[in-house]
Amino acid sequence: MTLPNEATLPTVLIVDDVFGRTVSAGNRDRANLCSTLHVNDVTPDSDAATKAQKVTAPVANAVFSRGQTPKSASQGDTVRNDPEGVLRLVKAGPAGDGSSPWALVLLDLSFSQGLVTAESETKGGSGIPRGEADDRNSHFGFQLLADIHASSADIPVVMLSSVTVTPELERQWNVAGASGFLKRTTATGDDLRGHLERHGLFPDSTGQIIGRSRALLDTLKQARMAALSDRHVLLRGESGVGKESMARYVHDMSRRKDFDFVALSLVAIMESVAENELFGHTTGYFYKGSESQDGLFRDADKGTLFLDEIGAISEGMQKRLLRVLENGEVRTHGRSEPYEVDVRVVSATNEDIENRARASTFREDLLYRLSAGGTIALPPLAKRREDIPLLAEAFLSRKLQENGDAKPPLYRDRNIDARAMAALEAHEWRGNIRELKSVIEQAVERHPDNTLLTRDHLSLAKANGPAPLAREAPALPKPNDASPPYELPRYMEALRSYVSAILDGSRDDNGKIIITKAYKRMVPKGSVLEGEKVTQIAAGFLLRLAKLGTPHLSLRDCPQLEEALQLARDVKPLKEKKADD
């Protein structure tokens, strides 16, 4: 887990009567715990200002609470437990306004109450009362644990105590909802890091996945849990929610992070092309002079292979993929001996694939293999509206970065005004994050000289109308314009790039620039593929697209695609050759 700087560190709440008390001369007990657990003390009191409580290579920021009143006690004061105050602090979160949750709560088990005396301070330290310790059968920590679980069930709580753990104690905190236990006298920063990885609620520190909503933080927690093993993971969610970004997050959090992450979209792709992409082929397998291709399984060896829209693959492809997942062996077209691969597959779908398995239209044994490491449901943007301002500002910032060193700049620096932001937060977002990104980019491009984006600059689709495309689609690649002719797999890649440009509305990522690069890659060495055959293949591919019925592919809003499909309908279809012929 990468936690690069203090600003992006998760923040934990530590409720403990010894470490949480405020001491005028500085709480040395707290300083020692910070050093042991590798946490920065950011409590808004005088103790946090001491230099001793700033540590190197911190795991987290920490806010301390005594869980009692008064927090700073002197001789003659009576210290009492404060369950209501603790619950208010838990609900307020690190920001104090409930806008974001604590990554984790570390909760002491036993709290001492009573009168602070000279004798009690001599034995226990400044501000420590003389006794009245909890009844061993009803620790105050257990009362707080039950109350936190009842009022903020999604906040993970780990018990932090020096008591000897008995089976009965362990049973009690498990029943009360604790996520784990840290022994105060032996716990280390690595122990805390492990609990954060498994149970913590905190955003992506790299900034690739943007947001702080409870729904997103819970999804990130599930992804980190899945990353701890090497088993395959299935992602579910609507179109445009960011499934590929989440797959990359799983990869980056896993032991495979130093190896390749390879992605392939299986939507509207012919079976022979999909097999060739995944498993590869030897030199001359398809036609004389065709170059060999390793296949994506080999490219992703020791890393992660992301397969988007896994429900789109054919029955034959399901069978072949299952064989790879079961024994880790890949058989390349044209090669008799298989080769072994060590690949973690993260697949994604926006279908009810479990229902398809029950209806026998998707192999149940393959679904079991694909989801062996867990199924993670990604929330739609409508379920995480508090993230919309963060996402909108991030997309605006990235768009303005396209200025580079251009003189004059392509777009003027600007902000989003309050009414426009309110409109963004209230919008339906059937296209989810992808649609939001397109709306922001379109507003910048259509109004390059405005310094403030207003509600009138936003092209928001009506509630019952089709989601707008981000921009005019790039020109469709034409097979018969090429000289020399295209190589089949790479031409199909160009067509997929074109479709991605339409679906994503992303000119720089999947549009004209990548299609231009694809043209250069498509010039084969010694290829003899005829232009007419490529035209037939392209027509078949586009006609498959027309059958998808996705709301993001509206022919009315894309004249180039509509024209291309009309031409495709006039092309004599090509009978596809089977991969094993």
- The per-residue DSSP string of 349-365 comes to ESS-HHHHHHTTSS-HH
Q: What is the pLDDT of residue 476?
A: 41
DSSP state of 67: S
Token pair for residue 294? 């390793």
Q: What is the DSSP string of 311-380?
A: GGS-HHHHHHHHHHHHH-EE--BT-SS-EE---EEEEEESS-HHHHHHTTSS-HHHHHHHTTT-EEEPPP
d(CA 111, CA 143): 11
How buried is 51 (Cβ within 10 angstroms: 0-12 exposed, 13-18 middle, 19+ buried)? exposed
On whether the CB atoms of residues 53 and 8 are closer than 8 A, the answer is no
Q: Beta-strand (E) ranges in 207-334?
A: 233-236, 261-265, 304-308, 329-330
d(CA 144, CA 534): 69
Q: What is the DSSP string of 525-544?
A: SS----HHHHHHHHHHHHHH
Low-confidence ranges of the chain (pLDDT < 50): 1-5, 51-52, 287-289, 463-492, 501-535, 537, 545, 548-561, 563, 574, 576-581
d(CA 533, CA 526): 17
338: preceding bond cis by omega (within 30 degrees): no
Cα angle vertex 204, ends 202, 208, to 5°?
160
d(CA 214, CA 201): 8
Find, among 180, 189, 175, 130, the residue nearest to 160 by Cα: 180
Q: What is the pLDDT of residue 396?
A: 93
In the chain the domains, ranked by start, together with CATH numbers, are 6-187 (3.40.50.2300), 214-379 (3.40.50.300), 382-457 (1.10.8.60), 479-569 (no CATH)
Q: What is the pLDDT of residue 528?
A: 34
Token pair for residue 51? 């230099």
d(CA 161, CA 497): 56
d(CA 34, CA 13): 12
